A and B are shown apart, each in its own frame.
Chain A
């Protein structure tokens, strides 16, 4: 059973990884990457690591790849650039690719192939790969890499927020605290107050009120003061 699962997952992983690289349609490439990650999680399951397997599905398939699919569905209309890149850029990317292949090749030849002849560890502890054991290792032996990685993620998140703000160019009215009360009185909702002209539905800005006398279309006879609007009219 283990062998069948291993070969099914292994072949699926290799084929899907190749598909990610060679498929022309970016959407299918991303889907292929999803299949690849799912088969990897199956391989993790076979390696006595159920926690890693499930987290792989949760984080990569569930969050990261959904975003990829999202972006590809929106902007990737199958019109991928052909060729692409200046000659120097191409040479540079080839160099990086070759370096990566060489590094991984050395790593595999140096360590991985010795294990193929063996039959794995004899008796694995029952708690091996359990969440509690992984958590303990993360907070004792691998504390520094763990914290460094989390710091890196924090930097990335803050960077994304800063970049997104700068590109859009915040309107003066938007420079405000994140207020929970915004939900209770949302702007531009088509609410009853906007319908009767009590609020000016300016998207992105504060709700500014319209004085009844401001509008040229409103005849003076109808200016009977719509209840609460007169008090703080500008």
Chain B
């Protein structure tokens, strides 16, 4: 085994030689990036239908070229910088956001069986680590620096307020998000994402059913983590113009924008992995292996649709509501959920 990074990362299971890993890394990057315009178009279309209007329908067939036109426009715009801004931080912040968002993408397992592609066994995941769930949290922690530094370095009151809100919000909801998953982790006995999916296959019931409270808390906290309505206080247009990205335009704004959608996709995929059984199809045990990635993508699409639905339905929370909801309701509920699950796991009657 010629792993690219040798022995100390031994907890990582690589099924394939190093060149296959390189190809896989590029593929994950490419798939992640090509999913973004699709989801962007899907969101705008769906929002349009929710609001009784057609949504984008001018560029391309059925408006299909609209996201590409948007991204192209942003990339060819002038790169400007406010006069007082702190240059290198201003440039680095969107990149941090983007990298941290994309880095969580390889953690999603699309199938547990290494698929035989041209005679080479290839696992359909970027990284099947023993501590995959923790790596996910670590990168989302790093991602919060992109928002924080972007808002701080652009030296504007709106940006600064948005960034400070963001820091407080991300810290508060990260706690609830992590605690909500303790139930899943305790039942599985592992932090590996593929082990969690396998457990859901073995026990013949998705974690959504026994862990319904945990799923709810995780879903709500994830909404806050990825700055979606009703928790989009970081960029509350009606109060803060554009929040932490007020001073950004052109390509740097596009980076933030794309990072947001990568977060959305990863959140959908993570929820379907943790609570919706990953690649398992209900009532069909012997599904062929090549279906698995599409099952995961379909479940991701369902979760993403629900998130868009929520955006079309709910108004934005107020800041103190956000804080008291996170600390007074979600966190105690998550703790209670972990306690009750722990009781059931060690219970003598089960």
Contact = CB atoms under 8 A, between A and B. Distances in A.
Interface of A: 1-2, 5, 27, 31, 34, 45-48, 50-51, 54-55, 57-58, 61-63, 66-67, 69-70, 73-74, 124, 126, 129-132, 178, 180, 182-183, 186, 189
A130 B134 CA distance: 12
Contacts of B130: 50, 130-131
Contacts of A63: 141, 171, 174
Interface stretch (B235-243, B268-276, B323-331): B323-331
A182 B141 contact: no
Nearest to A27: B152
B61 to A, nearest CB: 44
Contact of B164 (A31, A70, A180): A70
A69 B142 contact: no
A183 B168 contact: no
Interface string B1-26: 00011111111000000000000000
B134 A55 contact: yes
Contacts of B265: none
Instruction: Please report whether the interface of chain A is mostly helix, strand, loop or mixed according to DSSP.
Output: helix
Given A73-B164, A180-B328, A189-B318, A126 B141 contact: no
B306 interface: no
B160 interface: yes
Interface residues of B, number: 40
Contact of B324 (A27, A70, A183): A183
Contacts of B167: 66-67, 69-70
Interface string B103-132: 000000000000000000000000001110
B6 A74 contact: no
Contacts of B164: 70, 73-74
A66 B138 contact: no
B148 interface: yes
B325 A183 contact: yes
Which among B11, B189, B191 has the greatest number of chain A C-beta atoms within 10 A?
B11
Contacts of B11: 50, 126, 129-130
B170 interface: yes
Given A2-B7, A48-B10, A58 B131 contact: no
B163 interface: yes
Interface in B142-172: 142, 144-145, 148-149, 152, 160, 163-164, 167-168, 170-171
Contacts of B134: 51, 54-55, 58, 131
Nearest to B189: A132
16 contacts: A1-B4, A1-B6, A2-B7, A48-B7, A51-B131, A57-B141, A58-B141, A63-B171, A69-B152, A70-B148, A126-B11, A129-B11, A130-B11, A183-B324, A183-B328, A183-B329
A92 to B, nearest CB: 34
A66 B142 contact: no
Given A186-B321, A189-B318, A69 B174 contact: no
Contacts of A131: 130-131, 134, 191
B318 A58 contact: no
Contact of B171 (A5, A66, A126, A129): A66
A54 to B, nearest CB: 4
Q: Which 6 A-B pairs have the closest CB atoms?
A: A62-B141, A57-B138, A54-B134, A70-B167, A54-B138, A46-B8
Interface in B197-229: none
A75 B45 CA distance: 44
A46 B6 CA distance: 9
Nearest to B143: A62
Interface string B273-317: 000000000000000000000000000000000000000000000
Nearest to B134: A54
A50 B12 CA distance: 10
A131 B182 CA distance: 14
B135 interface: yes
Contacts of A50: 8-9, 11, 129-131
Contact of B174 (A48, A55, A62): A62
Contact of A61 (B4, B131, B142, B168): B142
